[in-house]
């Protein structure tokens, strides 16, 4: 019986061990670290812009939450347009509201939509350009709109309230 020829002795790595396990992990590690850095940069940018967290100026008013009720959003599907009191320009906006009062409050909002539209237009009729000039001014506008909408609901005999107003579109021309 003849023996198989012995493999030549060399110091070259075999294909199985070429580069080792670390070489295979390096692209994965690079990808993960890049994603983490990109995500952190995005988070910092969004926070600085005031879109998340508390950065970027005045904080938006916190919603009042009723215990155990989920937040429900209701779009007021009007494009509100009003002349600004101090210039020849006009303001156009769209808004949505949130409530934690459940389906009952959402139904009240829909039921009294004409009264709510009128209340919003009354607030907008008193607006000057400075009242929408920056984020702090827009936050004050949102608070005024919330108060006007809740007053209109109360005037119609409803006990439900909205928690927050969201400006979904705002144009000054």
Residue 20 CA to residue 55 CA, distance in Å, equals: 46
Kindly list the distances between the CA atom of residue 138 and the CA atoms of 56, 110, 167, 170, in Å, as whole numbers in the listed order.
Answer: 14, 25, 9, 10
pLDDT at 148: 97
Range 14-39 average pLDDT: 53
Range 132-158 average pLDDT: 96
| DSSP for residue 168 | E
Q: What is the CA radius of gyration of the chain?
A: 30
pLDDT at 3: 53
pLDDT band at 40 (very low <50, low <70, confident <90, very high): very low
**Token code pair at residue 143:** 């608070």
pTM for the structure as a whole: 0.62
**Phi, psi (5° rounding) for residue 138?**
-65, -35
Residue 103 CA to residue 25 CA, distance in Å, equals: 53
> Would you say residue 91 has pLDDT above 50?
yes
pLDDT at 82: 94
pLDDT at 129: 93
Domains of the chain in sequence order:
19-57 (no CATH), 72-172 (3.30.479.30)
CA-based nearest residue to 97, from 124, 114, 125, 116: 116
Residue 153 CA to residue 146 CA, distance in Å, equals: 11
> Would you say residue 42 has pLDDT above 70?
no
What single string gives the DSSP state of each residue in 44-110?
Answer: HHHHHTTSSTT-SSSPPPPPP--TTPPPEEEEEEEEEEEE-TTSS-EEEEEEEEEESS-HHHHHHHH
pLDDT at 55: 40
Q: Average pLDDT of the chain?
A: 77
Residue-wise pLDDT tens digits, 51-80: 444 444 344 444 444 566 799 999 999 999
């Amino acid at each position: 019986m003849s023996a198989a020829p012995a493999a030549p002795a060399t110091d070259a790595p075999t294909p199985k061990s070429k580069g080792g396990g670390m070489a295979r992990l390096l692209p994965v590690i690079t990808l993960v670290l890049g994603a983490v850095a990109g995500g952190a940069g995005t988070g910092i940018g969004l926070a600085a812009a005031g879109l998340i967290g508390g950065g970027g100026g005045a904080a938006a008013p916190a919603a009042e939450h009723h215990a155990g009720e989920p937040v429900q959003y209701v779009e007021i599907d009007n494009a509100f347009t009003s002349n600004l009191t101090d210039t020849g320009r006009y303001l156009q906006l769209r808004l949505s509201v949130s409530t934690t009062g459940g389906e009952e409050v959402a139904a009240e909002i829909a039921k009294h939509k004409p009264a709510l539209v009128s209340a919003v237009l009354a607030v907008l009729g008193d607006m000057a350009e400075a009242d929408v000039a920056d984020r702090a001014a827009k936050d004050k506008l949102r608070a005024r709109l919330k108060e006007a909408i809740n007053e209109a609901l109360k005037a119609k005999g409803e006990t439900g309230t909205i928690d927050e107003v969201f400006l979904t579109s705002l144009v000054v021309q």
